[in-house]
Every structure is written in C-alpha cells, then in structure tokens.
C-alpha cells in the first residue's frame, strides 16, 4: 500500500534490516570468527569469561542497538531484534557447535564439550555487552527470557541434548578409571569432570534435573554394580577386620570423589548405595564371621576393630541390631560362666567371698567403658549391656545340694516362700488330677463306703507328699545364696574398713583404667561402680534387707569407713530405686547424727546435776522404725558398776520427752574392760560384748568359780544366752575363763567356770570374737528368718498391689491385672505368676475382690 510506512521513508531513523545487518556483521560474525581463531577466553579473577570484542567495538554496537530499541513507534525494533538474536543463537548452536561435537572422538568429547561451552559463554557475554539495553528494559518489561538464559537454553536444547548419552558414558568411564587406579586419575582429569558437572548444573538454570538424570542416576547404578562385585570378592578373600578397613577406605574415597567432582546432593544417594552393597548385604555374615566376627573381637579385646565395626554398621538401617545381639549374647555367656565356676558355690563357712562380686564389677565397668569409648554411648548397646547383666546376674548361683535331715530341719522350713520357684506346686497338683482321672474307672464294683475311705486316705497321702515336696523346695530356696546377699556383703566389707586398708583383691576397674584406692575419693568411686551392679538385680528387696542389717552393724559398732562413703552408696541407691527405697537407710544415718547431739546433751546434764560415772558411757538412741528388729535380750539385773549410768540416762531422757519409751538392747553393746591376769605383766584391754563384760564383772565380786545357772540368775539372763556367751570366753585363741569342774548337781548348766590363771598375751588390747562355728550357725538362722520375712512382705505387697490396681481401674481381666502387678512391683522384686494367682484366689475368698457377674474372666474391686 502507498500509505504504508517504510523504513526508507524515515531516513532519520535506523531501519531494522540495516541495523541488524550491522549488528550481525560487526558483532555476531566478528565474535564467531575470533572464537574460531582462538581469542583469549580465560576467566578473570571474578570468574567471568572474557569477551570477543574490544571496548570501542562494543561502544559502537551498543549505540546502534540502543537507537534501534529507543526509536519511537513504529520504528522501535526491540521485539524484532530480540527474536532475531534468539534465531541467531539457535543457528549457532545447531549448525556450528553441535556439528563440531558430533565429529569429536569419544576420548576427546569431554574436553571438546568444555571448550565449546567456554566459547559459548564468551559469546553470551559479548552479546550482552552490546545488547544490554534490550536485556535491561524490553526483556524485563515483558518478563521474557534474558539473553543469557536464551543462550543457555539454546545450548541445552541443540547441543547438550544431542550428545548427552555420550557425555554420560564418558563421565562414567572416567569415574570407573578413578576407582580402579591406585593413585587416582590425576588432577587434570578430576578438574575436567568437575567442569562437566558445573556445565550440567549451569544448563539447568537453577535446577539440577539434568545433572541428576544424566550424571547422578547412571553413576549410582554403576556404583551398585561395582560395589557388589568388590564386596563379594573381599568377603571371600579377607577376614572381618580386613574387610571393615577396606570398606572404610572405599567409603572415604567415594566421599572424596563427591567433594571433588560431584554435586553435594549426590552424597547421600551414592554413599547409601555403597553402604548398602558393602555393609547391609553382608551384615549377618560380617558380624557372625567365624574366627574374626564381632564375638571374636570381643573375646580377643580388639577394641579398635569393634569401634570401626560400630561406626560402619551405624550407617545402615538396622545395622547395629545384630552387633548388639552378639554383644549381649557374649556378655550373657561370660557372665553365666563366671557364676558357674565351682569356687563361687555356696559354702556356709566361706559363702560370701568377695571374688565373684569384684569380678562382676570389673566386668560391668570394663564393658561400660567399651560402650562409652568405642560405641559412643549408643542406647542400643547400653540396652544390650543392661539386658545381658540382668539375665545372668539373676540366675541362681550353683550350690552343692544337701538333703535336709528328717525331722526338725524340714519341719522348721516354715510357710510358703516367694523368694523364687513355686511352679512345681502347680505341677504336683496337675499330676495328682491326672492320676485321679486315669484311675477313675478302677474298682467300679467295690462298695461305696470302701471307695470313700480309700479316696480320703489317698487324698491325705497326696497332701502329705505335696507338703513334703514343698518344704524340701523351700529349704533349698532358703539355702540358695542370691547375688543380692553377695552384693550387700561385698559393700559391707568395703565400708567396714578405713580407706588406707581398702586395697582390693586386684586394682579397681574404672572407665579411665585401673586404680588402687588409697583415698576416700577413690573409695567412693569404687562404691559407685559397685552400686551400678545393683541396678541389674531383680530381688532388690532382698538386698535392702541384708544391706539394712549390715549398715546397722556398721553404724552401731562404729565400724563404718565414713559417713560420707555411706551417703555415696545411699545416694546411688536412691537414684536407682527412688526415695522410699532408701528412707530407712537415711533415717539410720539421721539417728546417728542425732545420737551424737543427744550424747553431748547427756554429758552436759550430768555436769549440771553434779553426777559422775566412773567410765566412759556412750548411748545411741535409735528409732525402731528405721532399724532392723532385734531380740530384746536385756539383763534385768545389771552389775552394780553399770546400773547407775543406765538409770541416769533414763532419768535424763525422761526429762526430755514423755511420749517415747526406751528399750535397752544389750546384745548390740560393747564394753572395754581392763583385765589384770596373773600371767600378764601389764593390764590387758578386753573389747567384749555387753553380755560378756557383765559376766566378767561378776568375778570382781566372787573369788570362787560360778556355774552357768548362777551367772544367769545374777544377771537376769536366760541360761541359753549365758551359755553362748561363755562359749566365746572359754574357747578360741583368747580363753579368759576356763572350766573348773561341776557342782554337786549334774547337768551342763551346773558346770563351773573360773578365771583362767594361765591366760597370757603380748597384745595390750584384744577383741573377744564369736567363734566361727557359732557365728556361722547364727548367720544361717538369721538368714533363714530374713528370707521368711521377705516372703511374708512380698505376699502383702502383691495383695496390696492387686487391690490398689483394681481400685483404680475398677474392672480388669486376670491377664491385664497380672501385667500391671508386675509393672508396679518389678522395681523392687519380680513376682512369680503362681504367686499372683494365689494372692488373687486368697483375696477372692476374703471378699476384697470378686468376679464380674457378666464376665467371670474379669475381676472387680469390692468397695
């Protein structure tokens, strides 16, 4: 049309054809020509590529492009210029770059690819230099793809897409060569792979999809194949430690490769593939490998290898489970073997040997240190250690069984005991029921009365036999030594001595090594690690009973190492079992502290009243609820030397409180007497019990021998106690008294005893101990009484737990109730199923609970 505006009609404006021709000829073509002939494309310090145009050339072309883009409409060529550049970029990539790379050899492809990308970057920067106005205004205003973005897209679509399979193949070949080369492929080839990685990421323009698809995914697949091959070869040719070291080295190499020429996002995927093939696939065989697996390492002290195994197995899901299982099984075996050794068996004369507990403490500390230093205190191994110790430490200790004599021993066994066992009762009853069922059709033609009599006799016979078996089992349970007793006795022996005398059987194991205690601080550390062993014990109530008695003796007889050491043990026990468990222990310590103050007040009272006692008199007033129950064996007729002191203290104590009653327990007291003997040049201090001292004081008033009956009568003691005290005074190393014949009356109680004129000793101070046989017999009787007491307390505890639980939940099935009873009582002891059943039946009979009318399998609390 004539009216149509043409470029030639406005000579003052730059026409598009002329302008584009100039830009292409002096800009695009010059850049391509210079790039083909080797323009310097090295990157500057800022990491940007160089430019193919000089500054004056850029200035001239920029002015032309600026004018073309700023002319008034309809001579504004911004849009046409933008799309012309896109077409030119597409043509360059498709017709020049892609064709050159297609002709490149495979071994030179990566270098050629990098070179072409570098040239393309120079081209992009050169274009942006003289077309910057277009990029900053037109493109930005219309939200179009920037010139740089368009150039990258063109390279991606027309260059990369045409050779990506070749790029992937050559990249994987280089990685494979890097893995197989002993010293790697060298820095130059590593840098080449890194550049290919960067180009693939740059082509994604903010996305790493191309890298993941063309590099990462194929590499992970190839890695799986490679790792499977080498792992199978290693497993067949190496032992476990060697295999672990090879795996660690391989993983470190793979991690270095990721750092060198792979993307950070590849780390988890690639290492997971490596760990799966190298560790997970061979996990069971690795841990249990004969002659070099985890158990072998534990047995031979290969701590470094164990640490390496832990570090590697921790990397894979479930990897620590078989290792922890082996660890637990290993500890269970060595612990059970330790308990089964003959030297630890029950012998009353030497039944509480320290060796077993010390070795168990050593075992616990050693493997706790292993868990801490080699297994990073991982919960899985703490749990395995705990379960292993709980398993073997609660096993019954082996003992040499002795059948009880007929009569007294068996009959004195007492009532049913819950301290272990009990399932045989139910078995006996089942056997009886089975026997009755099998015999139900026999003798059907006999008369009814004979059958009834025979049935009654058979039932009575079965009942007697069942009772005999029960008593025999109970006797054996009472004779069976428990680890709780050994542990209590071990702590007692340690706490009874001074720190300077506390050298153990062998050095004390600690997490830092082995120490020999020479100070109180080290003693406290030994006590702390010993109490840790208590945490594994099920029968904590047995320990509490015996420890309470041991603590009482230490405190009353003033034989404890220190009150601080006692508090360390009690604090550890409180941490493990709670405040109620140690309430009596803390009460005993508090009583001793108050007793010291009371003693000072008594001495002040005596001074104020102007009363005097001819000897040092120390009284400990104890709260009966905290201390063990003692037999009140008191002398009703005190020697005149002692009587004033006791009466004075009673008067003093009565003036302080009118609501408390003093009960003297002379059996726990001690006396220090000064004895003058014919055969000794100097007086000898005699440390004796209160009863022994009272007997000896009788001879100050009598020059003639005294019979057992006379002594008992003058002191107000029973003949039995008097005879026992005389046994220690007349036998053993220090025989203060001697038998001088009998009176006119016959009988053991009428034997006469006088001062042993031939007694002599070089020591200035001696202690009159109980004789070993007498002491052992007394300990045996006390132990049997204590275990019967525990049985009774457990019965009450189970019943109380049943009632408390049903009171809270109102209705529960027997199974649910049993589970909750065990959960409630397990911190103190583990109730047996048959015990719970018996207590439920007993509570049903006593109408504390009842069966649900709608469902008799459920139990209901009776309000």
In the β-sheet with 858-861, what is the strand arrangement from edge to edge? 811-813, 858-861, 849-851
On whether both 855 and 839 belong to a single domain, the answer is yes
Q: What is the DSSP letter of 662?
A: -
The answer to whether residue 684 sits within a structural domain is yes
pLDDT at 282: 95
Look at residue 592 and tell me if it is in a domain: no
Please give the mean pLDDT across all residues of the chain.
82
Q: How many Cα atoms within 13 Å fall on the side-chain side of residue 664?
A: 20
CA distance 585 to 626: 7
Based on C-alpha coordinates, what's the Rg of the chain?
48
Residue 455 lies in a domain: no
Is the pLDDT higher at 863 or at 586?
586
Higher pLDDT, 796 or 475: 796
pLDDT of residue 519: 53
Three-state DSSP class for residue 89: helix
What is the pLDDT, as a whole number, of residue 729? 87
CB 551 within 8 A of CB 585: yes
Q: Please say which residue of 207, 240, 270 terminates a domain.
A: 207
- Do 55 and 17 lie in one domain? The reply is yes
Q: How many CB atoms are closer than 10 A to CB 134?
A: 25
Task: Choose the weakest-confidence range: 127-131, 428-432, 451-455, 581-585.
Answer: 428-432
Three-state secondary structure readout of 506-557: CCEEECCEEECCCCHHHHHHHHHHHHHHHCCCCCHHHHHHHHHHHHHHHHHC
Q: Given a cut of 60, is residue 596 above it in pLDDT?
A: yes
* Position 107 pLDDT exceeds 60: yes
Residues 500 and 518 occupy one common structural domain = yes
Rounded to the nearest angstrom, the gap between the alpha carbon of residue 254 and the centroid of all alpha carbons in its chain is 34
125 and 85: one domain?
Answer: yes
Mean pLDDT of 121-141: 87
The answer to whether residue 462 is domain-embedded is no
Residue 449 has pLDDT above 90, yes or no: no
User: Residues 277-330: pLDDT tens digits?
Assistant: 999 999 999 999 999 999 999 999 999 999 999 999 999 999 999 999 999 999
What's the CA gap between 814 and 841, in Å, rounded? 11
Residues 375 and 308 in one domain: no
> Per-residue b/e over 678-707, b at no fewer than 16 CB within 10 Å?
eeeeeebebebbbbbbbbbbebeeeeebbb
Q: How far apart are CA 309 and CA 306, in angstroms?
A: 5
Q: What are the beta bridge partners of residue 303?
A: none
Q: Given this model, what pLDDT does residue 283 score?
A: 95
Q: Is the pLDDT of residue 404 over 60?
A: no
* Euclidean distance between the first and the last CA atom of the chain, given in angstroms as a whole number: 111
**595 in a domain, yes or no?**
no
CATH number of 847's domain = 1.10.10.10
- Is pLDDT at 500 greater than 50 in this prediction? no
Q: Between 772-809 and 540-556, two packed helices, what is the crossing angle to 10 degrees?
A: 130
Residue with tokens 């490149």: 104
Asked if residue 447 has pLDDT above 50, the reply is no
Domain match, 658 and 612 both:
yes
**pLDDT at residue 415 in the model:** 38
**Per-residue pLDDT at 514 exceeds 60:** no
pLDDT of residue 157: 93
Same domain, 513 and 561: yes
Domain boundary (179, 207, 235) is at 207
In this structure, the answer to whether residues 647 and 754 fall within a common structural domain is yes
Of 215-219, 233-237, 355-359, where does mean pLDDT reach its minimum?
Answer: 355-359
Among the listed residues 401, 399, 409, 398, the one whose alpha carbon sits nearest the alpha carbon of residue 780:
409
344 contact partners, CB below 8 Å, separation of at least 6: 338, 353, 355, 356, 397, 398
Indicate the residue among 770, 788, 818 that finishes a domain.
770
Does 356 lie in the same domain as 268? no
Give the whole-angstrom CA distance, residue 785 versus residue 348.
16
Give the model's confidence band at 820: pLDDT under 50 very low, under 70 low, under 90 confident, else very high. very high
Per-residue pLDDT for 631 more than 60? yes
pLDDT number for residue 758: 83
The verdict on residue 457 lying in a domain is: no
Q: What integer is the mean pLDDT of 591-617?
A: 87
**Is 295 found in the same domain as 185?**
no
| Tens of pLDDT, residues 708-720 | 888 988 888 888 8
Split into its structural domains, the chain has a count of 5
Q: Reply yes or no on whether the pLDDT at 445 is more than 80.
A: no
Task: Point out the least confidently predicted range of 93-97, 468-472, 736-740, 742-746.
Answer: 742-746
Whether the CB-CB separation of 209 and 164 falls below 8 Å is answered with: no
pLDDT at 190 over 90: yes
Q: Is residue 350, in this structure, part of any structural domain at all?
A: yes
What's the pLDDT band for 39 if we cut at 50, 70, 90?
Answer: low
Task: Specify the pLDDT at position 47.
Answer: 55
Measured CA to CA, the distance from residue 118 to residue 199 in angstroms comes to 9
pLDDT given at position 65: 87
Considering the domain architecture, whether residues 392 and 352 belong to the same structural domain is answered as yes
pLDDT at 48: 62
Task: State whether residue 687 is helix, strand or coil.
Answer: strand
pLDDT for residue 624 is more than 90: no
Please tell me the distance from the alpha carbon of residue 331 to that of residue 13, in angstroms, as a whole number.
95
The DSSP H or E segment spanning 671 is strand 670-675
Q: What is the mean predicted confidence (pLDDT) over 842-854?
A: 88
Closest alpha carbon to 486 in 546, 575, 564: 546
The per-residue pLDDT for 475 is 43
Task: Assess contact for 345 and 400: CB atoms under 8 A.
Answer: yes
Task: Pick the range with the lowest mean pLDDT from 174-188, 302-316, 515-529.
Answer: 515-529
Q: Mean pLDDT lowest for which of 23-37, 42-56, 267-281, 790-804?
A: 42-56
Helix, strand and coil in the chain, % to nearest 5: 65, 5, 30
**Over the stretch 655-683, which tens digit does the pLDDT of each residue have?**
888 788 888 888 888 889 988 888 787 88
Poorest-pLDDT segment among 3-7, 362-366, 701-705: 3-7
Supply the pLDDT for residue 162: 93
Range of the domain at 30: 7-207
As to burial, measured by CB atoms within 10 angstroms (0-12 exposed, 13-18 middle, 19+ buried), residue 55 is: exposed
Contacts of residue 137, Cβ cutoff 8 Å, sequence gap at least 6: 69, 78
The helix (run of H) or strand (run of E) holding residue 672 is strand 670-675
Instruction: Examine the domain organization and report whether 309 and 327 are in the same domain.
Output: no
Rounded Cα distance between 704 and 712, Å, is: 16
Give the model confidence (pLDDT) of 364-403 as tens digits. Answer: 999 999 999 999 999 999 999 999 999 999 888 765 444 4
Backbone angles phi, psi at 805, to 5 degrees: -65, -45
Separation of alpha carbons 823 and 826, rounded Å: 6
Residue 57 CA to its chain's centroid (Å) = 77
Q: Are 496 and 565 in contact (CB under 8 A)?
A: no
Domain CATH for 276? 1.20.1310.10
pTM (global) more than 0.85: no
Rounded Cα gap, residues 550 and 504, in angstroms? 19
Residue at 588 is within a domain: no
Confidence of residue 548 (pLDDT cuts 50, 70, 90): very high
């Amino acid at each position: 049309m004539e009216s149509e505006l043409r470029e030639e009609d406005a000579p003052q404006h730059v026409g598009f054809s002329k302008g584009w021709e100039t830009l292409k000829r002096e800009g695009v073509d010059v850049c391509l020509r210079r790039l083909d002939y080797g323009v310097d494309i090295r990157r500057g310090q800022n990491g940007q590529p160089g430019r193919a145009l000089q500054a004056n050339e850029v200035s001239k072309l920029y002015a032309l492009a600026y004018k073309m883009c700023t002319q008034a409409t309809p001579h504004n060529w911004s849009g046409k210029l933008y799309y012309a550049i896109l077409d030119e970029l597409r043509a360059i990539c498709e017709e020049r770059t892609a064709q050159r790379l297609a002709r490149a050899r495979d071994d030179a492809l990566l270098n050629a690819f990098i070179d072409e990308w570098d040239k393309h970057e120079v081209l992009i920067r050169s274009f942006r230099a003289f077309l910057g106005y277009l990029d900053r205004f037109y493109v930005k205003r219309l939200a179009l793809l920037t010139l740089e973005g368009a150039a990258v897209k063109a390279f991606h679509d027309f260059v990369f897409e045409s050779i990506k399979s070749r790029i992937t193949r050559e990249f994987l070949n280089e990685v494979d060569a890097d893995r197989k080369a002993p010293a790697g492929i060298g820095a130059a080839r590593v840098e080449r792979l890194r550049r290919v990685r960067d180009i693939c990421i740059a082509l994604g323009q903010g996305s790493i999809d191309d890298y993941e698809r063309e590099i990462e995914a194929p590499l992970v697949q190839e890695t799986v194949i490679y790792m499977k091959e080498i792992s199978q070869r290693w497993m067949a040719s190496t032992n476990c430690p060697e295999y672990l070291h090879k795996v660690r080295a391989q993983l470190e190499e793979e991690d270095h490769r990721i750092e060198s020429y792979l993307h950070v996002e590849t780390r988890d995927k690639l290492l997971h593939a490596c760990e799966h093939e190298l560790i997970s696939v061979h996990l069971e065989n690795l841990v249990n490998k004969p002659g070099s697996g985890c158990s072998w390492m534990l047995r031979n002290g290969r701590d470094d290898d164990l640490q390496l195994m832990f570090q590697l197995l921790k990397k894979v899901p479930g990897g620590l489970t078989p290792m922890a299982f082996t660890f637990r099984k290993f500890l269970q075996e060595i612990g059970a073997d330790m308990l089964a050794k003959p030297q630890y068996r029950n012998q009353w004369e030497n039944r509480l040997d320290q060796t077993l507990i010390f070795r168990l403490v050593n075992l616990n500390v050693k493997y706790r240190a292993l868990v801490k230093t080699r297994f990073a205190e991982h919960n899985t191994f703490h749990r395995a250690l705990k379960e292993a110790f709980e398993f073997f430490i609660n096993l019954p200790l082996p003992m040499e069984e002795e059948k009880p004599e007929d009569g007294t021993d068996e009959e004195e066994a007492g009532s049913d005991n819950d301290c272990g066992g009990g399932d045989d009762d139910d078995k006996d009853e089942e056997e009886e029921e089975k026997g009755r069922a099998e015999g139900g059709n026999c003798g059907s033609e006999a008369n009814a009365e004979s059958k009834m009599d025979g049935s009654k006799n058979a039932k009575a016979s079965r009942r007697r036999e069942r009772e005999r078996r029960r008593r025999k089992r109970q006797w054996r349970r009472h004779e069976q030594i428990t680890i709780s007793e050994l542990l209590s006795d071990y702590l007692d022996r340690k706490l009874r001595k001074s720190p300077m005398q506390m050298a153990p059987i062998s050095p004390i194991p600690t997490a830092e090594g082995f120490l020999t205690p020479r100070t109180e601080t080290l003693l406290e550390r030994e006590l702390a690690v010993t109490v840790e062993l208590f945490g594994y014990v099920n029968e904590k109530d047995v320990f509490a009973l015996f420890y309470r008695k041991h603590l009482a003796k230490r405190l009353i007889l003033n034989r404890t190492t220190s009150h601080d050491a006692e508090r360390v043990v009690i604090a550890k026990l409180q941490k493990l079992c709670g405040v109620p468990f140690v309430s009596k222990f803390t009460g005993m310590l508090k009583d001793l502290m108050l007793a010291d103050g009371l003693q000072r007040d008594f001495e002040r009272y005596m001074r104020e009243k102007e009363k005097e006692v001819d000897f040092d008199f120390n009284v400990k007033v104890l709260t009966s609820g905290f201390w063990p129950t003692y037999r009140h064996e008191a002398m009703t007729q005190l020697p005149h030397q002692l009587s004033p002191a006791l009466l004075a203290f009673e008067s003093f104590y009565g003036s302080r409180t009118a609501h408390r009653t003093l009960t003297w327990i002379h059996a726990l007291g001690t006396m220090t007497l000064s004895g003058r003997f014919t055969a000794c040049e100097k007086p000898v201090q005699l440390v004796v019990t209160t009863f022994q001292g009272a007997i000896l004081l009788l001879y100050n008033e009598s020059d003639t021998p005294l019979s057992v009956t006379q002594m008992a009568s003058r002191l107000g003691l029973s003949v039995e106690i008097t005879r026992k005290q005389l046994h220690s005074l007349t036998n053993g190393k220090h025989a203060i008294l001697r038998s001088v014949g009998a009176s006119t009356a016959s009988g053991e109680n009428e034997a006469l005893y006088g001062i042993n004129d031939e007694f002599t000793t070089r020591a200035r101070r001696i202690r009159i101990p109980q004789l070993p046989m007498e002491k052992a017999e007394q300990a045996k009787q006390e132990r049997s009484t204590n275990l019967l007491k525990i049985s009774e307390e457990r019965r009450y505890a189970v019943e109380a737990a049943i009632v408390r639980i049903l009171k809270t939940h109102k209705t529960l099935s027997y199974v649910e109730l049993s589970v909750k009873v065990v959960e409630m009582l397990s911190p103190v002891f583990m109730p047996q199923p048959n015990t719970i059943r018996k207590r439920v039946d007993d509570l049903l009979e006593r109408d504390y609970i009842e069966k649900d009318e709608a469902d008799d399998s459920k139990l209901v609390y009776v309000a």
